[in-house]
Amino acid sequence: MLTQTFMLALVSVAASQDMLNMCMDGKHHKTYPGPEGKLFQQCSPWKKNACCMANTTEEAHNDMSYLYNFNWNHCGVMSNACKQHFIQDTCFYECSPHLGPWIQPVDSTWRKERILNVPLCKEDCETWWEDCKNDFTCKENWHQGWNWTSGYNECPTGAKCQNFTEIFPTAQSMCEKIWSNSYKYTTYNKNSSKCMQMWFPEGPNPNKKVAEHYLNKAPSPGITASLFFLSAILSALLL
Ligand SMILES: *[C@@H]1O[C@H](CO)[C@@H](O)[C@H](O)[C@H]1NC(C)=O
Ligand SMILES: *[C@@H]1O[C@H](CO)[C@@H](O)[C@H](O)[C@H]1NC(C)=O
Ligand SMILES: *[C@@H]1O[C@H](CO)[C@@H](O)[C@H](O)[C@H]1NC(C)=O
Ligand SMILES: *[C@@H]1O[C@H](CO)[C@@H](O)[C@H](O)[C@H]1NC(C)=O
């Protein structure tokens, strides 16, 4: 009995450890995170431990890449300043091994899991919005509602191109609505360890600590159960 409960406790602790280092079941994600010799340009900071393959990161830098056939230029050519944030967003989504606490199952034809409410650092959201202010779009939610007849996304009839600030009056509205709440706007700064960084320099990935913070803050049923079993073991030993 004791051995059984102890094993159960170990298993649930191990499961929560995996939450800190895992890949979502997406369209291009690897099954498990691991080192990649080299990742392309903006995705390079993830090379020591990544959920993306090198070819995915190279393709992520192309317009209308075959990753998703997504057309950034649906309302005229997107500026390079704006586009680099969308490339970074793609690197973060494809490569990050520390999104475990925010991975959710999704009923979709092209992926089995998605991210929901990932707390994004204030600077990363605000510079994204600032750099896209002079660009144009026709839709608030870029996940849904496009006309895909030509093989890439075009504005649906009736959706007129407007500048970003008309579609997204605030940085928060853009970061949260554009990918149907994949991101959550926060007022945490990048040095807080409480928000995920889309942009970080080569070196240790600062987002691991952030995932740890949120895992500890909201103990999963697994952790609660393992704590329960551990205390049961302890009291059994003390008796
Ligand atoms: C990358 O290469 C792997 C293996 O060579 C292949 O299975 C995968 O489909 C490629 N992915 C992309 C996005 O090209
Ligand atoms: C966006 O469009 C609105 C209305 O046409 C205009 O008032 C505003 O100055 C524009 N903003 C930018 C950054 O172009
Ligand atoms: C979708 O786009 C095509 C052109 O690529 C157009 O002919 C068609 O009318 C559009 N359909 C809708 C429903 O807007
Ligand atoms: C974190 O950065 C913000 C602004 O970027 C600064 O105001 C704050 O003092 C910094 N906090 C620490 C602990 O370094």
189 ligand 4 Cβ < 6 A? yes
- Shortest-distance ligand to the CA of residue 156: 3
191 ligand 4 Cβ < 6 A? yes
| Ligand 4 centroid distance, CA of 190 (Å) | 8
pLDDT band at 2 (very low <50, low <70, confident <90, very high): low
Q: What digits encode the pLDDT tens for the residues 95-152? A: 999 999 999 998 888 889 899 999 999 999 999 999 999 999 999 999 999 999 999 9
108 ligand 2 Cβ < 6 A? no
Report helix, strand or coil for 104: strand
Q: Which of 38, 17, 11 is nearest to 208 (CA)?
A: 17
- Number of Cβ within 10 Å of residue 226's Cβ equals 23
Could you give the CA distance from residue 111 to residue 35 in angstroms, rounded to a whole number? Answer: 23
- Shortest-distance ligand to the CA of residue 158: 3
- Shortest-distance ligand to the CA of residue 151: 3
149 ligand 3 Cβ < 6 A? yes
Please list, residue by residue across 11-35, b when 16 or more beta carbons sit within 10 angstroms of its beta carbon and e when fewer do. ebeeebeebbbbbbebebbbeebee
Q: Beta 118-120 vs 183-185: how paired, if at all?
A: parallel
- Output the pLDDT for position 68: 86
134 ligand 4 Cβ < 6 A? no
Q: Is the pLDDT confidence value at 93 over 70?
A: yes
Ligand 1: residue of 36, 55, 64 to mutate (most ligand atoms within 8 A of CB) is 55
- Number of Cβ within 10 Å of residue 4's Cβ equals 9
184 ligand 2 Cβ < 6 A? no
CB 211 within 8 A of CB 1: no
140 ligand 3 Cβ < 6 A? no
Q: Helices in 96-220 by DSSP H: which ranges?
A: 122-132, 164-167, 171-177, 207-217
Q: What digits encode the pLDDT tens for the residues 18-61? A: 889 999 998 889 999 999 988 999 999 999 999 999 999 988 89
pTM score of the predicted model: 0.84
